[in-house]
Amino acid sequence: MPESPTSSKLEETISDLPLRSIPVVRIEPRKPHIEVKQKEWDGFLRICFNRMNKTLGSLFRQKNVISMLEKNYNTVQALKLAQEGSLKETDAKVDFSNFGDFDYDDQGMEVDDDGVDDDEMDVEDGGTDEVQSEFKEKVLGVLKEGDFEEKMSSKLTLQEFLYLLSLFNKAGIHFS
């Protein structure tokens, strides 16, 4: 196979290139190890880095984030009440003497017998928007307390993330 003038030129160019060293990166766990619940830390960072170039205030104003945090908040509060209630039940005595006096004929239910068949049920709005608005203010208040509302996640340090997570936890807001 005859040698083309371009192939010899290419070989010269390649041989003239200096040898490059390849950097090796070594990843080691932090010492001392950071004591944080991994599931909660993961949930917190997923929210913070949902959109990297948005402020934390705009990320935590999203309806789906607020509703998820409110659901977690209500679950934690219910667990605390149940735990406190179980402690009180061990100390309390139940009076069963009135259970035998139940009148099965009069159960206290009224029947609306106006002859109209109601297929639809009237449901009152429980003010869920107001409750969510109050919870939203609580979340934004935590961000304002730590002066994080106008900061971007990509600009925060590890210590700032840990501090913000601790502020949320002090307010009873959890991410798992």
The DSSP output letter for 34 is P
Residue 147 pLDDT: 94
pLDDT tens per residue, range 67-108: 999 999 999 989 888 888 766 665 555 454 544 444 545 444
CA–CA dist 87, 109 (Å, integer): 34
pTM of the model: 0.59
Which region among 16-20, 49-53, 129-133, 162-166 has the lowest average model confidence (pLDDT)? Answer: 16-20
The mean of the pLDDT values for the chain is: 77
Look up residue 163 and give its two tokens. 């501090």
Burial category of 84 from C-beta neighbours within 10 Å (exposed 0-12, middle 13-18, buried 19 and up): exposed
H helices present in 21-157, as ranges: 38-48, 56-59, 63-91, 128-145
